[in-house]
Structure formats: C-alpha cells, structure tokens
Amino acid sequence: MFNQADELKIGQVVEVSGTSIKVEISENVSELTKTFEGRVYPIGQIGSLVKIHYGRKIIFGLVTMLRMRSEELIQAGMPVTVGADQRVMEVQLLAEGHWINSKQKLDFKRGIKTYPLPQQSVYILTNQEVTKLYQSAEGNADREIDPLVPFAVYSASESTQCRANIDKMFGMHCAILGSTGSGKSGTVAAIIHSVLEHKHEEQTISPQIIIIDPHGEYGSAFKDRAMLYRAYGESTDEESDSIEIKLPYWLMSSDEIASLIIGKTESSATNQNNVVYKALSHARMVAAGIVKPAPSAFGDETIAALDDKEEVQTLEDFDTSNVLAFNRDKPRRFCWDEFENHIRFIQGAKTAGPLHVTKTATDLNKISIPSVLDKLKVLRQDTRLSFMMSNWNSQDEDFNLAQILNQLIGRGVIPEEDEGGTLTKDINIIDISGLPNEIAGPLVAMIARILFQYKVHQNNEEKLKDPLLIVCEEAHRYVPDKGDAQYGAAQEAVKRIAREGRKYGIGLMLVSQRPADVDSTVISQCGTWVVLRLTNSADQQHVSRFLPDGLSGMVGALPILSQQEAIFVGEGAALPSRIKIRDLTSEQLPRSNTIPFAEGWFKERLTEEELSAICERMI
C-alpha cells in the first residue's frame, strides 16, 4: 500500500505556487482513466485525491481544476502556441504523511512542511489507499468521549464513512448551504439523526438542540426524540402533538420591543424609540415596586403639580440612585397597560393651568405617540401573537423564567403507551411557520439572546455539562445581509453568538438556500461548511469568499452536484472532501418534498366539507 506503481502514475509537477501545484498529465494517458488490479480509476475528477512521493514522505492533494494549457494562456492574455495542447490539472496541497509498513499504519499530518519539486511524478490513489487516508485523517480523537460521528460516505470511496468531529463542527459553528431541492433539510436531519444514534459504551447521547423551524417541516423527522412547540395557530397535522409555546413579551430587551412596535426604519424612528424606552423602564420599575404607577386617566392632580411631567416618582425606601441603577433590558415582568398609560398620560400629557390634560395633536405627532399606540393596539389584538402578547399583571400566575427556558432546553419525558416506559425527547423544535417576517425577526432575536444570557451566567462546570446547538433554518430571513431594521435585533443577537458563542458552549448551524443574502459577518464565523448544489452565480461567488483551505476553485463543481452530494470542508472535516449524505427512511425525513402536481391533479378534488374545515382553520 502507498507504493509508487507505474500503473497509477498520471503526470508530473510543472509548477509549485504556495499551497497549490499544477500537474501536466502524461501524453501516454490517452483517456482520463487508469486500470489497476482490475479496477478502473478516473483521472482529474474535481474533489479526487492524488499523491506525490518525496523520499519516505507522501504528499496528498485535492484536484480543484482540469483544463487545457491553451485555455490558461488565453485567460492570461498570452498567444496560444502550437504545442499548447497539454492537459493541466490544478491541485490543492492538503497534508503529508508516511506509511509504516510494519504496523500497516499511515502517520498522517494536516498541512504541508515539504513541498514537491517540478518534474516529480504524481499518482492517483487506490480505493484502499483512499480509505486508509480518510481513516488516518479522522484519527482517534484524544478525548474520553469520541466526537467523530458518521453522517455520509466519501464520493472518492463510497465504502468509507465520512465522520464529522461534532466538537469542532458545532463548537465553531457550521453552515449548511444549497439551492432549493439540493437536500438541505435532509442533510440537517441526517446530521442530527447521526448524532442521536451516537453511543459511548452503550450509553445513548442526550444532545441539547433547538431548531427554529420556519416551515413546520422538522416535527415529522424527529417524532420520537423531539418536543414540538408551535408559535401560532392550531396544528394542521392530525398526527402532530405540538404544544403552544409560551414566550411572553417581557422576555424581550428594549431594542427587541422597539423593533416589534416600530418595525421598519422611519423618519421618526428616534422619537419612537425614546417613547418606547421611557415607557418600558417605567413599566418594569412599577412591576418591581420601585416607582408609582402612571395615572390611568387625565386630570391627575399629582401629575399636574409636577414641573416635569416625566419626573419619576419613587416609592418609599427607593430613590433616584435605584432608578439610575435599574437595567431595563433584564427579563423582568411588566404590564402592557402600565406601559401604555405612561405613553398616553405622562409622555402625552401637559399642564393647562391646574389641569393635567393631553397634548395637542401636533405636539403628539412630533414625538410619534399616536403611531406607537396604534401599532401596540394592533399587536395586542393580533391572535397570531397571543403566545407572546398576552398581558401580565401582578395577580396572574405566570410562567417564571426557569419554566420558559425549560421549553427551549429542557428534556421532555413522555410515557410510552405501548412499552409501558418513558420516552426522552432531547430536541426542541419551535415552529414559527404562521408568523409574519416582522414578528419572526424579534422572536428569533429574543430566543437567541435569552439562550446566550443563560450560557453567560453559567459557571464552568455547568457550561461543560450543557452545550447547546441552535439550528437556524432559512437563516437569510433572520440575519439578512441587507440592513432592514425589522431584522436588526435578530442580526445582533445571532452575530453575538457567532462571535462569542464558542467560549460559552453555544453553537450555530445556519441553513440557507441563498447564502449571498445571509449576513457576511455571521456566515464568515462558521468554521465548517456543508455546501450542496448551488446554481445561482451570486451564491457561488459569495461562498468562494469564505471557503477555507484555499478551496475556492471547487466552487465550479457546485452547480453539477447531485442531490444529497456536498462539499464538506472546515474544522469539522478531516479533509476537504466531496461526500454523499446518508440515506434516511421516510419517517426520518423532514416534510420538505415538492408537492407532485401530476399526481395531485389525478386525484379527487377537495369536497365542500374539506374546504369548510380549511376555512375554519383560516379564521
């Protein structure tokens, strides 16, 4: 194994530049195949591996391009000569090692210390050598618990499992990218199912995974291991056992509440922000018992007697220092009625002689009070938002913060009717498919920020026991590259996890069909990439900017990848590779298949009773 067999020789090095080389294919190679020991091996396939022997060392490289010398001359603006018909292969150098024959072991090291020289021979690898190379590259992690999880096979050797190092893949964030129909959702499901099947000394793993599901497709893929929460409406799936999630508005920070109420950037956004911030601080301090409630009507004599109508009136045992030290962004309960009263009867009030009265319409419009109150009224009346907008008052029995967090990170223990035991559910899926974008942005921001704060306040021992992974499907909806204000809060929350999450044990898995539309700061923080078929040229160019290991040349292969085939690169990959994602059963797949038109049009049309049932769900 790893011998210099003449039958495997394909050419020689003609140029060495940094970590890449150019290989001229030998003239005696008439077809781009080689036969060795009864097996036919292709030459020059994008993503295939080659080797160069340098004394006892073996240098390994990845093919990134194959073209004619004449094309290279034309691209460089040089004249094409008569002898410019050579076939040239561009190879990215990856690693080196040497074969220990006595132990039948490859001593593998990532990176290059010894560079090949021009005119050195280049060989293709046999199937056995490819298998041994990948196995040596993955190695045996020097950890008590093995973090290597098989989720695919290598395209260069389909008998060899591709194992991802989930410590690096999740800890340093990862991105799953691909056009519609390329198999993104199936890839996410394959990775998570592979993690769920991972065992250590017969002990079953118990991962902490939160999936933000904008299309309601993942509940069917993890029925036995997931708690399914819906953010809006009744479930349309009769088999679903989803639970309405409780994420009360008081979890939101001041910026998230301002984003929810104000929405897109307007000329009066600064005035509106100030109105919201003042009312929020007041409402939270009232609930905390620090200041007096706002009046609930005009004509309040106490307010009329004040020179400054917005002067804070503290209760006994509190003073201005308590007000100044109060943090309005902490997840403390407050009442919408108190919030609204402060805007209407304090910020919107003035003194007319001895009377406490409303400001004129002109003065109110200057500080945008009517528009803030109108938007708040619309939000409170929107039935889609009942899971978060239901008003709190001090007499209510409300979820506390621990109960709310338990929906996101807790383990569900469900009785098994057939077996008589219990079923542990580790994954928490949050179905936000019924929500408009202007609500989904602040909601995702709130979830991301609360989870990050939860991790920040853990001690080291708690962090080690409780790593989290957030799967953000359709990431371009929540962290877009364009600067729409309605996404501002979500952008900042997810950006912070991308920048700092590794230190606290919180990882991101970004999933998108339009990588060019995802925030560049967030996507560039991903250490591992699984890139499926991408047909859009803008998306291909965007991906080439971030691909590690100098592999931007492999972007040319992205439009021709088959379904479930991907380029796997980065920290979680042993070597940059072209892989085939594992197959899943129909019960393990997300419900993301395209509806078949021909089949549907041959079936019976919906009855009037079925239409009535749909209409009931609509209203």
Query: How confident is the model at residue 394, as a pLDDT?
Result: 67
pLDDT above 50: residue 418: no
Dist. CA 435–CA 507, nearest whole Å: 25
The whole-number average pLDDT for the span 452-480 is: 89
- Of the CA atoms within 13 Å of residue 132, those in its CB half-sphere come to 19
Q: What is the DSSP letter of 345?
A: I
pLDDT digits (tens, 9 = 90+) for 67-93: 887 777 777 777 777 666 788 888 989
pLDDT above 90: residue 530: yes
pLDDT above 60: residue 212: yes
Instruction: Please name the residues in contact with 293: beta carbons below 8 A apart, sequence gap of 6 or more.
Output: 286, 338, 341
Least confident of 380-389, 414-423, 500-509, 541-550: 414-423
Dist. CA 86–CA 595, nearest whole Å: 48
The whole-number average pLDDT for the span 297-303 is: 78
Report DSSP letters for 52-101, one per residue. EEETTEEEEEEEEEEEEHHHHHHHTT-PPPTT---EEEEEEEEEEEEEET
Write out the H or E segment, with its range, that includes residue 547. Answer: none
What is 148-246+399-601's CATH number, 1.10.10.10, 3.60.70.12, 3.40.50.720, 3.40.50.300?
A: 3.40.50.300
- C-alpha gyration radius of the chain: 30
The whole-number average pLDDT for the span 283-288 is: 91
Least confident of 314-328, 457-471, 485-499: 485-499
CB 212 within 8 A of CB 218: no
Q: What are phi and psi of 456, to 5 degrees?
A: -60, -35
Query: In Å, what is the CA distance from 423 to each residue of 4, 194, 411?
Result: 55, 18, 10
Query: How confident is the model at residue 233, as a pLDDT?
Result: 59
Query: In Å, what is the CA distance from 500 to each residue of 164, 483, 571, 573?
Result: 22, 22, 17, 22
Least confident of 26-30, 181-185, 327-331, 448-452: 26-30
Query: How confident is the model at residue 105, as a pLDDT?
Result: 85
pLDDT band at 485 (very low <50, low <70, confident <90, very high): very low
pLDDT above 60: residue 265: no
Start-to-end Cα distance in the chain: 69
Q: What are phi and psi of 448, to 5 degrees?
A: -65, -40
The overall average pLDDT reported for the chain is 84
Query: How confident is the model at residue 169, as a pLDDT?
Result: 93
pLDDT band at 99 (very low <50, low <70, confident <90, very high): confident
Query: How confident is the model at residue 168, as a pLDDT?
Result: 92
What 3-state DSSP class applies to 592? coil
Strands 226-230 and 427-431: parallel
Q: Which of 126-130, 230-234, 437-441, 486-490 has the highest mean pLDDT?
A: 126-130
pLDDT digits (tens, 9 = 90+) for 9-44: 999 999 998 888 999 988 888 777 888 888 888 888
pLDDT above 80: residue 142: no
pTM for this structure? 0.83
AA letter at 118:
P
Q: What is the DSSP letter of 523?
A: H
CA 580 centroid distance within chain: 21
CB atoms within 10 A of CB 607: 9
Query: In Å, what is the CA distance from 369 to each residue of 311, 341, 348, 525, 549?
Result: 18, 12, 7, 40, 54
- Name the residue ranges covered by the structural domains of the chain: 6-138, 148-246+399-601, 251-389
Query: How confident is the model at residue 595, as a pLDDT?
Result: 79
Query: In Å, what is the CA distance from 435 to each residue of 219, 230, 233, 320?
Result: 17, 10, 10, 41
H helices of 382-430, in order, are: 386-389, 401-409
pLDDT digits (tens, 9 = 90+) for 334-389: 999 999 999 998 888 887 777 888 888 888 888 889 989 998 999 888 877 888 88
Dist. CA 350–CA 331, nearest whole Å: 32
The whole-number average pLDDT for the span 454-460 is: 91
pLDDT above 90: residue 296: no
Query: How confident is the model at residue 468, as a pLDDT?
Result: 93
Query: How confident is the model at residue 211, as a pLDDT?
Result: 93
Percent of the residues in the chain that have a pLDDT greater than 70, as a whole number: 90
